[in-house]
Amino acid sequence: MRAAFPLALFAAAVGAAQAATNDTKCLAVREHIDLPGNDLSDAKAATAGDCCKLCSETAYCVAYTWSRYNGGTCYMKDAVTVRGVYNTPLPDGSPLVVSGEVRKPADQRRCLPVQEHIDYPGNDIAHTGAAHAGACCKMCTDTPLCVAYTWSSYNGGTCFMKDAKPARPVHSAPLPDGSPMVISGEVQKPADQHRCPPVQENLDFPGNDLASAGAAHPAACCKLCTENPKCAAYTWSRYNDGTCYMKHTKTVRPVYNTPLPDGSPMVVSGIVRRA
């Protein structure tokens, strides 16, 4: 049973929320809308404005839902839910929940908006357990060379970290209840971490070889290249369980290689960005 919400407290909460929209860090709030999942942490907050302030001061927080629960609770989120959930207002019309997003400096915006029901196939660096897409994004930002990810509900939640976003993402059917089976997104990292720009699948950079070494996947090949001061480009091949061909310059005319029968690339090429 819902307790009565004092009118003065409601007015203060809404007033603070409206004032927050004038702050460069707090985007327009949405009353009666909950942003489910992607919880980073929660804390006491008397108003939605206070909640936005908490989010703006918390690493990885990009959105929030403020609830009147327990005198005011702020649920900070590390990803923006594409579809908010409507919550019925209280009998007097006041909101039970208020949600919003925060604007942060470019170097702090780590998790870009996600894509529900979209899979980013291939380019895997690693995978690990993750309860939700927000946790997956955080893992990606903390992992060298990870620039994109796909979170799957498989096995209680699994994060597949990628060293590149595929040219053609794949749509995945939702679960029977309509919730997404997969969620994908990209991360934004400081400029000095952007060593491996997007790769080119099915393209070989012939010639200009500097050295070769074993590499399980393209990300490992890029890493080898970044660690060699003379390496400016590379071609990764599936040959011999994965081989990295480091180049002292990019080929002017890359050569197309036919993909495998399942569509996966036989070769992947790329360049490295030096500071």
Domain hosting residue 255, numbered range: 200-271
In this structure, what CATH number is given to the domain that contains residue 172? 3.50.4.10
Residue 1 lies in a domain: no
- Read off the DSSP letter of residue 155: G
Q: Is 14 helix (H, G, I), strand (E, B) or coil?
A: helix
Query: Are the C-beta atoms of residues 137 and 111 closer than 8 Å to each other?
Result: yes
Q: Kindly tell me if the per-residue pLDDT of 203 is higher than 80.
A: yes
Residue 80 lies in a domain: yes
Q: Final residue of a domain: which of 85, 104, 123? A: 104
d(CA 44, CA 139): 26
pLDDT computed for residue 105 by the predictor: 65
Question: Is the same domain home to 35 and 100?
Answer: yes
Residue located via tokens 């890493």: 223
Q: Is 112 helix (H, G, I), strand (E, B) or coil?
A: coil
Q: Final residue of a domain: which of 193, 218, 253? A: 193
d(CA 242, CA 266): 10
d(CA 184, CA 65): 22
Residue located via tokens 């749509």: 171
Q: Is 184 helix (H, G, I), strand (E, B) or coil?
A: strand
Q: Kindly tell me if the per-residue pLDDT of 17 is higher than 90.
A: no
Question: Is the same domain home to 136 and 98?
Answer: no
pLDDT computed for residue 196 by the predictor: 74
β partners of residue 245: 212, 235
Question: Is the same domain home to 179 and 121?
Answer: yes
pLDDT computed for residue 248 by the predictor: 94
> Token digits for 176?
């029977």
- Read off the DSSP letter of residue 259: P
Q: Final residue of a domain: which of 104, 127, 155? A: 104
d(CA 26, CA 97): 16
How crowded is residue 74: how many other Cβ atoms within 10 Å of its Cβ?
Answer: 24
Query: Are the C-beta atoms of residues 91 and 10 closer than 8 Å to each other?
Result: no
Query: Are the C-beta atoms of residues 248 and 230 closer than 8 Å to each other?
Result: yes
Question: Is the same domain home to 189 and 205?
Answer: no
As for how many domains the chain has, the answer is 3
pLDDT computed for residue 112 by the predictor: 77
What's the average model confidence in pLDDT over 176-198?
A: 77
Q: Kindly tell me if the per-residue pLDDT of 214 is higher than 60.
A: yes
Residue 72 lies in a domain: yes
Residue located via tokens 């997007």: 198
d(CA 13, CA 74): 12
Taking only the tens place, the pLDDT of each residue in 97-123 is 999 988 876 545 577 778 889 999 988
Question: Is the same domain home to 84 and 17?
Answer: yes
Q: Kindly tell me if the per-residue pLDDT of 9 is higher than 50.
A: no
Taking only the tens place, the pLDDT of each residue in 56-107 is 888 778 889 999 999 999 999 877 776 789 999 989 999 999 999 888 765 4
